[in-house]
Structure 1
Amino acid sequence: MRSPVEASLANQVALVRARRLAAGIPVDEAWSVRLRRRWPFRLMAPVECGPGWTDLIEALCELLDVEADGDFRFTQVKEKFGQLRCYWTGDDHSGRIDQLVEAAEEISASMCEVCGAHAAMRETRPGGYIYAACDEHARPGSDVIRVKTEKIRNVGFRIRAHRFEKEGGDE
């Protein structure tokens, strides 16, 4: 079940996707250039993930336009363990920015990093590369897995502990 923040972000992703499709903009490798033009300060850091998460990152930035002050910026945006990871700096007095970033990271686990379609978490081999992909972009021989993430909050940072299981595996 999605949190209200995740639901809000998911709705924004749908709006961004609809606008992109209506404008005829493809999901391609030039996506980060388009987003950097729109948010040059916020996205000056490396963006190291696939084009399938374009709509998600754009939707996140649009919601951050409302929540974040002028000093907010990402220090890194990347893929890690099959999910989006966004590291940032700036003030978050209400905690809303952290909630939005965390929601984007959660939503990314069910979006193909290549095309943005609904995806499953996959592993190339036991102990191999973890990634989110639709059936079309799944690597040959990879298994669908379930990722259980335990989030531990502390003042100023978050810690994640991951456990990976084959889909249908024992608890």
Structure 2
Amino acid sequence: MNDTNISSDPELQKLIERFPRLFRGAQPAVWSHVPVGWSAIVGTLFTGIDAMLNDDQAKSFRVEQVKEEFGTLRLYVSFDRIDADGVNPNPTALRSLVDAAVAASEVTCYVCGAPGVMRKLGAWATVRCDAHASLQARAVLRHRLVVVERLRAARVAGRSRARRCDVRAGARRLGGMGLG
């Protein structure tokens, strides 16, 4: 595991320090990110999970990844062992904690934590408040304008090259047919 892959995420780092039993004191195995706007939601989720686990269960439990996917919170966990003696937490209780956190993320701005709605910005689905949605929309528009300008510049610069290629391709075609 590469401990440097996510250490620059301050929200995740705070959660690792606050909930060492859930992370076993280390970075998740897979790249993770906790956005500032959702840090309270994730903190509440981890508080519930930590309270639910006894010491034996905590030894087998590990947070593998926390991230945003398709606009909402995703949490991936693992258990080292599964047995009939109740070592693993109640899956129904765990699922309800995660479902509540996902539902909260669906209406909470990813950036600031204010009430938000799911929005499509470019190719991405994301939850944003009105203020951050307009900032994001402007950034997407600026990016699209840059792409369009680059395509136009490439097209203008490439026209003379394209004509030369067409002539050469035509000459080869003619030559290949025995006409040249």
Hey, what does 1:118 align to over in structure 2?
A: 115
Aligned length: 112
Q: Deviations over 1:56-85 (max 9, x none)?
A: 111111111221221222111110011000
Hey, what does 1:33 align to over in structure 2?
A: 13
Q: Distance in 2 between matches of 1:33 and 1:116?
A: 18
Contact 2:12 2:33 in 1 (8 A): no
1:135 aligned residue (112, 116, 130): 130
**Cα 1:82/1:94, change in 2 over 3 Å:** closer
In terms of Rg, which structure is larger? Answer: 2
CA drift at 1:30? 2.3
Hey, what does 1:108 align to over in structure 2?
A: 105
Q: Distance in 2 between matches of 1:113 and 1:58?
A: 14
What is the SS of the residue equivalent to 2:112?
coil
Hey, what does 2:52 align to over in structure 1?
A: 67
Hey, what does 1:54 align to over in structure 2?
A: 39
Contact 1:112 1:119 in 2 (8 A): yes
State the Cα RMSD in Å.
1.9
Q: Distance in 1 between matches of 2:37 and 2:91?
A: 30
Matched residue type, 1:61: F
CA drift at 1:32? 1.9
CA drift at 1:86? 0.4
- Asked whether 1:42 is paired with 2:42, we answer no
The normalised TM-score by structure 1 is 0.59
More strand, by proportion: 1
Moved more, 71-80 or 88-97: 88-97
Q: Distance in 2 between matches of 1:87 and 1:94?
A: 13
Stretches of structure 2 lacking an aligned partner (at least 5 in a row): 1-8, 80-87, 141-180
Q: Deviations over 1:12-43 (max 9, x none)?
A: xxxxxxxxxxxxxxxxx622222111123423
Contact 2:108 2:117 in 1 (8 A): yes
More helix, by proportion: 2
**Cα 1:49/1:32, change in 2 over 3 Å:** closer
CA drift at 1:47? 2.6
Matched residue type, 1:96: A
Hey, what does 1:88 align to over in structure 2?
A: 77
Identity of aligned residues (%): 30
Q: Deviations over 1:80-103 (max 9, x none)?
A: 011000011232335201111121
1:76 aligned residue (49, 53, 65): 65
The normalised TM-score by structure 2 is 0.56
Q: Distance in 2 between matches of 1:30 and 1:98?
A: 26
Hey, what does 2:166 align to over in structure 1?
A: none
